[in-house]
């Protein structure tokens, strides 16, 4: 008998629907709005704190109290069917005449046991509507209009943590009560500090009256509070606040005004009733917004009392492909280094997206070879005929270590004359799932493709297939000359709708195969934010499918958009298996680079399965280390095995690999000689010269002409006399150093960000497209962020 849990798992896989795209979009937008508002308030908060530090402890105290309150025993429900997730509110006064932004301390009421809920049904235990007025006796003094309905919710009533205002029945005022004592020493002063909740009104006149009243009140409150001793502990701080009324009987009451029409975007950080569209602020914003000052919503930290234990991370949907940095190898033990070339650039764009958003990238997201290969280098190009690319090697001093050398291998692909390139068949396979409905995803994608279509020759053909959302064939193969038809098909793409896991990828390849013809280049361009629900759900099966399609001569490029659930690892895997490359498009400028400036290189492979093998000479090189390419390592024997897949070079592409090598006898040698190992046959000489051989290493390159089965071999010795570094190599070294600083900086010693920046600036070259200048900007940003951390 099979394991029923396994059966269950399979059944779930079949039965679990995808989230509705439209609701996903709405939910995300709503959450974002709430977040933004909370942030705006945060800024205000900080400003307020700066102005009056003595107030700083107060909210902290309140937060503590909130934690105590924030339990099932805290109930917020008005007499009507509603309660809200706001458990406390705090008004502070200001020192000067102007209104100071009030602090509103809001807790969502959701932590740790609850989350916002939809309208609930009134429960028997709850106070009946109308009872609410009683607790609001304190609100009358300033003459502020009393809300017509109010509520008191007794903390003892066993209702859910909170319920939501029912549609159309949002409570005017909610008073939250709790039996809980604030933490800290008990003698709670038997003193009730009042504040007044002006009633809801959008009327301008009563509005300003309310403001004036509120201001007077605050001043009074301030005086009252100043009369109190300095905050000595959390409990007293809470009491001092006055926003939370601590009554003689020890019960704590928190007043909360629910239904004011905020004159400004109100700070909201509380769960919202789902159905009240367009009234997001309602029921959660206090009347203090009437004062014209921005309210501040503070959220208690640590509200989640039980979520702090250590736990291993669960798998994440945004995963980066990487390996630990290649270690330093001892030449005598492992003289051969083998890897596949890599023309991907996604890691650089991801890095840029992180830095420009103000945070350092996670080290694992940095693949140094992709940073280096992002930039075009002016390596000498191969001739018109013969080998499609040309290697250039140089050896120079390592910028971050005077005792080692950088061995630089640059490969320049031939740039074919663009006017006689073969016709292209492109199938755009576009993810239109709901998550793509963000400006930097589908709209950017459409713009990017528009740019690209402008670059195509009239004889090229384009087809468009969408998957997830509006699935299916959007545009039948169409000559690029009919630009209008293609552009309007692009414009028809829209994200959302229910996600149908249509057989997008199979369809795309089928279309591609139909388009393919002798002497043409056919490529599927998959554009996605990481939703690889392309019709084959098993990743291995997907890779296998793509690898089989590769045999059919169809190439695959993967363009990543947005950072929502970007699945970098899968992108990489698919592009590698599909004889293609992965790029990440974060800006239109990047689209310009990948799809316009480097269109030919992006789309036309000139060599397939390009592998590099370097054999180091133990007589001259004691240790070596390949910088980057960790995910591209090949086994030594794979080099000569033509069945083992490797990277492609596109027309005009350049690929750079850098080794840091430690000459024999250098003080930088990290490994001690082994006591029991045999002495090297040739005793090392200080400068690595030996027997007239100045060879450091021997370079072997294998590649296949596109579509060929067997590989060609190029061999080249690398000597100490190989050309020194010029600006191109030095810039690459600066980027290599930059990448290492981002990753760990183990080998870069005391070399700093500034050193990297200086090196990059000095070697920016003519930088026709401005890529290098942009890199310098990013390096500066990284430096500042690193210092700030």
Beta carbon of residue 170, minimum distance to other proteins (angstroms, whole number): 16
Comparing CA positions, the residue from 355, 316, 320, 786 lying closest to residue 587 is 355
Which residue, among 347, 386, 773, has the nearest Cα to 575 in the 3D structure? 347
For the stretch 207-212, contacts whose Cβ atoms lie closer than 8 Å and that sit 24 or more positions apart, written own/partner, are 207/263, 207/290, 210/144, 210/145, 210/290, 210/291, 211/99, 211/290, 211/291, 211/292
Closer of 204 and 314 to other proteins (Cβ) = 314
CA 173 to chain centre: 40
Q: How far is the CB of 380 from other proteins (least distance, A)?
A: 33
Q: Shortest approach of other proteins to residue 263 CB, angstroms? A: 22
CA–CA separation, 731 and 722 (whole Å) = 18
Shortest Cβ 491–other proteins spacing (Å): 24
Taking the least distance from each CB to other proteins, the nearer of 366 and 463 is 366
Nearer to other proteins, 120 or 601 (CB): 120
Q: At what angle do helices 727-743 and 753-762 cross, to 10 degrees?
A: 160
* C-alpha radius of gyration, the chain, whole number: 33
Under 8 Å between Cβ of 74 and 181: no
Residue with smaller CB distance to other proteins, 240 or 611: 611
How far is 733 from 727, CA to CA, in rounded Å?
10
Q: Tell me the closest approach of the beta carbon of residue 327 to other proteins, in angstroms.
A: 16
Of 444 and 486, which has the nearer Cβ to other proteins?
A: 444
Using CA atoms, how far apart are residues 37 and 268, in angstroms rounded to an integer?
6
In angstroms, what is the minimal distance from the CB of 106 to other proteins?
7
Nearer to other proteins, 1 or 186 (CB): 1
Nearest residue (CB) to other proteins, 500 versus 716: 500
As measured in angstroms, the least distance from the Cβ of 688 to other proteins is: 35
Q: Please report, in angstroms and rounded to a whole number, the separation of the first and last CA atoms in the chain.
A: 56
- Nearer of residues 241 and 586 to other proteins, judged by Cβ: 586
Q: Check whether the bond before 511 is cis (ω within 30° of 0).
A: no
DSSP state, residue 597: I
Which 3 state secondary structure label does DSSP give 469? coil
- Cβ at position 404, least distance to other proteins in Å: 28
Instruction: Give least dist CB 110 to other proteins, A.
Output: 4
Smallest distance from other proteins to CB 342, Å: 12
| Residue number with CB closer to other proteins (126 or 390) | 126
Beta carbon of residue 270, minimum distance to other proteins (angstroms, whole number): 6
If the CB atoms of residues 315 and 519 are measured against other proteins, the closer one turns out to be 315
Asked if 310 and 56 touch (Cβ cutoff 8 Å), the reply is no
C-alpha separations of 312 from 112, 363, 478 in Å = 20, 19, 51
Cβ nearer to other proteins, comparing 303 with 515:
303
Torsion (CA) 716, 717, 718, 721 in degrees, nearest 10: -120
Which residue is listed with tokens 């592009």? 575
Residues 777, 778, 779, 784, Cα dihedral to 10°: 90
Give yes or no for a contact between 449 and 592, defined as CB atoms under 8 angstroms apart: no
Bridge partners (DSSP) listed for residue 425? 461, 522
Reading the block at residue 167, the tokens are 């549609």
């Amino acid at each position: 008998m099979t394991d029923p849990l396994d059966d269950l798992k399979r059944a779930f896989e079949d039965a679990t629907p995808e989230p509705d795209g439209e609701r996903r979009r709405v939910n995300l937008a709503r959450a974002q709005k709430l977040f933004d508002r909370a942030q705006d308030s945060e800024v205000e908060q900080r400003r307020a704190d700066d102005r009056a530090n003595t107030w700083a402890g107060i909210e902290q105290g309140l937060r503590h109290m909130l934690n105590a309150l924030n339990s099932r025993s805290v109930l917020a429900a008005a007499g009507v069917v509603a309660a809200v997730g706001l458990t406390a509110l705090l008004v502070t006064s200001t020192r000067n005449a102007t209104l100071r932004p009030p602090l509103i301390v809001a807790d969502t009421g959701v932590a740790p046991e609850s989350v916002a809920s939809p309208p609930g049904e009134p429960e028997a235990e709850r106070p009946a509507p109308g009872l609410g007025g009683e607790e609001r006796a304190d609100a009358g003094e300033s003459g502020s209009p009393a809300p017509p309905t109010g509520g008191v919710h007794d903390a003892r009533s066993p209702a859910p943590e909170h319920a939501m205002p029912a549609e159309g029945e949002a409570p005017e005022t909610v008073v939250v009560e709790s039996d809980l004592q604030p933490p800290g020493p008990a003698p709670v002063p038997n003193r009730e500090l009042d504040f007044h909740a002006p009633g809801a009104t959008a009327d301008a006149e009563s509005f300003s009256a309310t403001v004036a009243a509120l201001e007077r009140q605050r001043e009074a409150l301030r005086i009252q509070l100043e009369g109190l001793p300095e905050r000595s502990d959390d409990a007293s701080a809470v009491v001092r606040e006055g926003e939370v009324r601590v009554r003689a009987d020890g019960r704590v009451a928190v007043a909360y005004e629910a239904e004011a029409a905020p004159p400004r975007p109100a700070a909201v950080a509380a769960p919202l009733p789902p159905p009240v569209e367009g009234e997001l602020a309602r029921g959660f914003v206090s009347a203090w917004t009437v004062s014209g000052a921005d309210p501040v919503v503070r959220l208690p930290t640590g509200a989640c009392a039980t979520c702090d234990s250590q736990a291993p991370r669960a798998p994440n949907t945004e995963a980066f492909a990487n390996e630990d940095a290649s270690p330093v190898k001892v030449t005598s033990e492992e003289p051969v280094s083998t890897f596949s070339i890599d023309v991907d650039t996604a890691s650089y764009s991801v890095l840029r997206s992180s830095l420009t958003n103000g945070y350092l990238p996670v080290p694992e997201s940095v693949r140094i070879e992709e940073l280096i290969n992002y930039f075009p280098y002016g390596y000498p190009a191969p001739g018109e005929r013969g080998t499609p690319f040309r290697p250039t090697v140089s050896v120079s001093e390592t910028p971050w270590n005077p005792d080692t050398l950088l061995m630089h291998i640059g490969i320049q692909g031939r740039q074919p004359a663009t006017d006689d390139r073969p016709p292209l068949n492109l199938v755009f396979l576009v993810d239109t799932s709901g998550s793509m409905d963000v400006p930097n995803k589908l709209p950017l994608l459409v713009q990017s493709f528009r740019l690209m279509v402008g670059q195509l020759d009239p004889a090229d053909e384009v087809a468009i297939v969408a998957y997830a959302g509006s699935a299916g064939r959007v545009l039948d193969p169409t000559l690029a000359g009919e630009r209008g038809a293609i552009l309007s098909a692009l414009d028809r793409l829209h994200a959302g709708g229910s996600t149908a896991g249509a057989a997008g990828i199979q369809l795309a390849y089928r279309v591609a195969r139909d388009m393919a013809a002798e002497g043409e280049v056919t490529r599927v361009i998959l554009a996605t934010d990481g939703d690889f629900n392309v019709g084959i759900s098993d990743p291995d099966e997907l890779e296998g499918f793509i690898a089989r399609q590769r045999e059919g001569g169809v190439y695959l490029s993967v363009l990543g958009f947005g950072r929502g659930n970007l699945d970098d690892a899968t992108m990489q895997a698919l592009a590698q298996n599909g004889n293609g490359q992965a790029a990440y498009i974060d800006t239109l400028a990047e689209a310009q680079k990948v799809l316009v400036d480097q269109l030919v290189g992006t789309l036309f492979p000139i060599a397939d399965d390009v592998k590099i093998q370097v054999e180091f000479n133990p007589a001259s090189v004691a240790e070596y280390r390949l910088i980057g390419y960790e995910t591209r390592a090949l086994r030594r024997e794979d080099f000569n095995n033509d069945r083992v897949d490797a990277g492609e070079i596109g027309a005009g592409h350049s690929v750079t690999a850098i080794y840091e090598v430690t000459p024999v006898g250098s003080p930088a040698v990290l490994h001690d000689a082994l006591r029991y190992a045999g002495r090297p046959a040739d005793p090392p000489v200080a400068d690595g010269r030996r027997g007239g051989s100045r060879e450091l290493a021997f370079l072997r390159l294998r590649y296949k002409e596109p579509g060929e089965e067997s590989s060609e071999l190029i061999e080249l010795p690398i000597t100490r006399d190989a050309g020194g570094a010029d600006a191109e190599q030095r810039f690459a070294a600066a980027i290599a150093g930059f990448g290492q600083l981002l990753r760990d900086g183990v080998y870069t010693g005391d070399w700093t960000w500034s050193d990297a920046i200086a090196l990059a600036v000095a070697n920016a070259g003519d930088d026709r497209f401005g890529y290098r200048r942009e890199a310098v900007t990013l390096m500066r940003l990284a430096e500042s962020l690193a210092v700030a951390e």
